[in-house]
Structure 1
Amino acid sequence: MNLHLFLLLFSSGASSYFLPLKPLLHLQNTTKHAIIDEMLCLLEAENESINVQFSKPLHVKNQNCAHTNTEKFIHELKKISSCKCMKTVERDMRKLQEKCSILKKSSSNDERCSETTKTNFSRFKESLEEFLKWVNEKQNCSNITRGESGLYPDSKCSCPDPWKYSKGLL
């Protein structure tokens, strides 16, 4: 290949054409994170022992209860004042509620939606993770993104492996 042509292609941005697809996808993901993936990462990274009883919904995979469950999780997340990352998760739950149609308030008044159980933080966290994975499977809410610069403004939240969920949930 002519050196001038190569330099022209490289400088014009066409060089991305020559990159293998996998690294190219990784480069695209460095500027945006899916909000559900971020929430799961923050939940997984939170290892603090919290001595508060939490109320968790029993029917996290019931479509009629999705809005009610979101409200319950948000309410319970407000109890955690010591974890900055959980405040981020709480804000992201609100954002999901606004953007995901499955989490909008439904006209159905299913009695099962009000059923909850008291539990510790680790069980509450597991229930919230299960709920988020279910939301991601039911509705394509994982494409709701935010710029990377706004992820952790206080620099206290971090994930051990930020690319763990970059390929989506299994």
Structure 2
Amino acid sequence: MSDQDDDVQKYALGAVAFVVALVVAGVIGLAASRVLHAPKAAGPSNASATTPAETSAVERIYFEVGQDSLPADAIDVLNRVAEAARSSGGTVLISGFHDASGDAAANADLAKRRAQRVQHALEANGVTADHLQLSKPAVTTGDGDTKAARRVELRLQ
């Protein structure tokens, strides 16, 4: 009977080893999936570094006071959004923001021009016009950060 008991123990240990191997493989697969789909770390730029492929993720480009020219640090954001839009085929919603101080019409026009600059940059980066949607300029509300009033937000939908 001891030979039979040894065989049963070998099969039982083999089954346990198989289950442990499956669990380890699952954990490694989950970790690899999270690494591949994790947001990229932000560099020393004024733009946030989130993953545009996520519907709720928002990329931001901050502009200088009274300017509609793209800042140098916008290139990384534009490249990420363009890549995500081209690969997913989704639509990029482009929203310009301004604050409530000064002339409302001039502020809205500046926010619109900023959003259009971003739109043209994405088109130049291979995103077709039918995958870009401009929203009406919006007034910034919040903690009073003046930088927030000079932004364009990009959301991949």
With the shorter chain as reference, the TM-score category is 0.3 to 0.5
Q: TM-score, normalised by structure 2?
A: 0.34
* Structure having greater relative contact order (Cα 8 Å, sep ≥ 6): 1
Larger strand percent: 2
Report the TM-score, using the length of structure 1 for normalisation: 0.32
Which structure carries more helix by proportion?
1
